[in-house]
Structure 1
């Protein structure tokens, strides 16, 4: 990526996103190791199942790498925040509460010892987010970490496509793009591409990076997204960007211009390439198969019709592999209901509602727009993808949204008030990030 994307974009210029770049909380106090921790969390959430790779990788080895990344992330976060200083976060607090039904339902071992292992993984994931919350100051620092890491993941996908096109576009997946070097499925690749494209577009509109640097990210990511034929990711990108840019229209001339051109291009594409777009969207499926959501509806009906005890309805059946009857559930809400019960569903709904409510109450800004994009994308994807109830990329996207919506620590001092050294303030009255 370009130099401007690395160092924080252009300086000066008009306020096209509702906040001046100079007014953004400065991330100078964020240690570089925090970016490494974020990258390790991304590695942990890549998963251990997917397509066949060029060089066969044992699942045990992949699990060792991903779990090792999480342990390393927690250890590094604790090392850099040795005397734990954390910031209040409703998002992480609700995630912590989600551990309660997870543990209650998992101790019965109906889902095997793997359920307790997944509970420990979720606890480490949440603990790492608590430690990182110290640096959640409403800046776009973590957005850059997010883009860099997922762009690196997409780089491995592109490398696999160049090295072995046959392995990267296998017939088993209907010719859709998969990870040939690391076992990634088409929905995963589509998700990563859509998220970083949306965030990068918003950074350009907010003048936090230049267009050349953004093009290096956006163009190849869109190509990979198209090769995955992932409808959920495409719709999430389009709807999420529409909502995010819509939140900037009243305060950003750049957002208004982009929105106008996007509508014109969409109209031209809809008229001139209607048949090609329909063929890409259907992926060769019949209308009956498409309306059945590629067989998902049958799994959902069977899951809801399965007999359950009162305890299983309330707390679920324990953290599992997000499947029912050997078939993937592919719905976050039903997966949470299956594994963490109605309590888990209520907590996950509270997470989405709280983040969305806070975003709507914030004044227009680039950070708010990025948060709206991430929240709306995760909400849309939750209908056909699982992951909101366990350590996953979706929870990492929402954690990024929470970091963008955090109130800067500097805001605790009234405008124009003298900066009184902390040592001259009684301990009970000091501004503290500790909760």
Structure 2
């Protein structure tokens, strides 16, 4: 098996990692699924991913990766903060889950060569997840658009929240647009992915995902403007369409963006600011300030934190915040130093999307889709391994035919 070849089983491993990070909390489904059953499925997917990665890479060949190395340090920090059991035994279980997640990424790093194979795995798996959302919407519109979530789209077959669906739709839309610009996929296939994804994104009314998609594409396409005529044409048309939409549909866009909220509720980020202020004002010991309280469910006082940086500060302390910042800075710095390419543009999109979403979504400190997006960015920024020269055994001269000897260069 050559180093430049990616086995099909690697795509299966990546799909299992996606399944593991779907989570177990969300809206009520058409067929009630016990949370314990969902957790068994997601955790079983992670165990299976690690086992398959070990099976396909039995010699434990890995590539140096600053991203996975920093994740390993974050894992160590998480263990240090969780051993005191302030967050209960669940903290140690989450550490074990993170350890399996990071170990699987180490095993997969062997095939991180700057190619687009993992991008295609990423799109296919999340498109399948969105397909289940669409099926749930058709089967039971009432369950898929419940009043509990203000009529926003949720997962009716698998308990997915509107922000999750919006995130998946935005990420695969952005990646598919970039593949089209790089002429790595045909337009028909792209339309099949982009159009349904944008419809589902609109039904979720997820502002973070929408802004992340738009700003991420601006930065990614901007990195291609000097080398791609297709990128320049797309950028020009996008600016024109955005201007027309802003002028002609300003009221509709504003209504969609506000989601019927008052200005006070909108300014407090749907109540998030109150939780953030309480978290920052809570008394902490020196150890808790530096290493946090241990891995938890990303909540404070029973309310979701919905901010990656504050969630990491609460669970892994200032050391964890420093490591997460280092991950973003290192990946962003490497992307800026790479020459313009489609792979670099995809990585820039993923990094910028995760950075934007980190303000109103948690997930950068634990096994999550965001860490998987960043892992994909790291694989795109990896330098292709040089093909090793084929080893030639030393053959005694007497065993070499005479015709071969005459062709030797003195």
Q: Contact 1:87–1:433 (CA<8 Å) still a contact in 2?
A: no
Instruction: Please state whether the residue corresponding to 1:430 is helix, strand or coil.
Output: helix
Return the alpha-carbon distance in structure 2 between the equivalents of residues 223 and 72 of structure 1: 33
Return the alpha-carbon distance in structure 2 between the equivalents of residues 433 and 234 of structure 1: 65
Q: 1:303 to 1:422 in 2, by over 3 A?
A: farther
Q: Deviations over 1:192-243 (max 9, x none)?
A: 0000000000000000001011000000000000000000000000000000
Q: CA RMSD in A?
A: 5.7
Q: Contact 1:105–1:339 (CA<8 Å) still a contact in 2?
A: yes
Aligned match of 2:182 in 184, 187, 206?
Answer: 206
Return the alpha-carbon distance in structure 2 between the equivalents of residues 199 and 430 of structure 1: 55
Instruction: Please state whether the residue corresponding to 1:318 is helix, strand or coil.
Output: coil
Bigger relative contact order, structure 1 or 2 (CA pairs below 8 A, ≥6 apart): 1
Q: 1:434 to 1:321 in 2, by over 3 A?
A: farther
Q: Contact 1:85–1:433 (CA<8 Å) still a contact in 2?
A: no
Q: 1:424 to 1:347 in 2, by over 3 A?
A: farther
Q: 1:251 to 1:434 in 2, by over 3 A?
A: farther
**1:133 Cα shift?**
0.2
Return the alpha-carbon distance in structure 1 between the equivalents of residues 97 and 401 of structure 2: 40
Q: 1:60 to 1:271 in 2, by over 3 A?
A: same
Determine whether 1:290 maps to 2:266. Answer: yes
Aligned position for 2:297: 321
Return the alpha-carbon distance in structure 2 between the equivalents of residues 183 and 432 of structure 1: 70
Q: 1:415 to 1:299 in 2, by over 3 A?
A: farther
**1:410 Cα shift?**
2.3
Return the alpha-carbon distance in structure 2 between the equivalents of residues 289 and 431 of structure 1: 87
TM-score calculated relative to the size of structure 2: 0.94
**1:420 Cα shift?**
15
Structure 1 runs (4+) deviating above 3 angstroms are 414-435
Ranges in structure 2 where 5+ consecutive residues have no aligned partner: 1-5
Q: Contact 1:313–1:341 (CA<8 Å) still a contact in 2?
A: yes
**1:411 Cα shift?**
7.4
Determine whether 1:270 maps to 2:246. Answer: yes
Return the alpha-carbon distance in structure 1 between the equivalents of residues 275 and 396 of structure 2: 61
Return the alpha-carbon distance in structure 2 between the equivalents of residues 258 and 361 of structure 1: 24
Ranges in structure 1 where 5+ consecutive residues have no aligned partner: 1-29
**1:421 Cα shift?**
18
Instruction: Please state whether the residue corresponding to 2:274 is helix, strand or coil.
Output: helix
Q: 1:152 to 1:431 in 2, by over 3 A?
A: farther
Return the alpha-carbon distance in structure 1 between the equivalents of residues 69 and 213 of structure 2: 28
Q: Deviations over 1:22-73 (max 9, x none)?
A: xxxxxxxx11000000000000000000000000000000000000000000
Q: Contact 1:87–1:434 (CA<8 Å) still a contact in 2?
A: no
Q: Contact 1:137–1:407 (CA<8 Å) still a contact in 2?
A: yes
Q: Contact 1:86–1:134 (CA<8 Å) still a contact in 2?
A: yes
Return the alpha-carbon distance in structure 2 between the equivalents of residues 424 and 410 of structure 1: 32
Query: After the TM superposition, which residues 216-255 of structure 1 pair with which residues of structure 2 at under 5 Å, given as runs?
Result: 216-255=192-231
**1:424 Cα shift?**
18
Q: 1:418 to 1:313 in 2, by over 3 A?
A: farther
**1:429 Cα shift?**
29
Aligned position for 2:285: 309
**1:101 Cα shift?**
1.4
Determine whether 1:394 maps to 2:370. Answer: yes
Instruction: Please state whether the residue corresponding to 1:317 is helix, strand or coil.
Output: coil
Q: Contact 1:375–1:398 (CA<8 Å) still a contact in 2?
A: yes
**1:100 Cα shift?**
1.5
Q: 1:263 to 1:135 in 2, by over 3 A?
A: same
Q: 1:421 to 1:360 in 2, by over 3 A?
A: farther
Return the alpha-carbon distance in structure 2 between the equivalents of residues 188 and 257 of structure 1: 31
Q: Contact 1:86–1:434 (CA<8 Å) still a contact in 2?
A: no
**1:81 Cα shift?**
0.2
Instruction: Please state whether the residue corresponding to 2:386 is helix, strand or coil.
Output: helix
Q: Contact 1:134–1:433 (CA<8 Å) still a contact in 2?
A: no
Q: Contact 1:198–1:237 (CA<8 Å) still a contact in 2?
A: yes
Instruction: Please state whether the residue corresponding to 1:148 is helix, strand or coil.
Output: helix
Q: Contact 1:86–1:133 (CA<8 Å) still a contact in 2?
A: yes
Q: Contact 1:106–1:319 (CA<8 Å) still a contact in 2?
A: yes
Q: Contact 1:85–1:434 (CA<8 Å) still a contact in 2?
A: no
Q: Deviations over 1:366-421 (max 9, x none)?
A: 00000000000000000000000000000000000000000000278x99999999
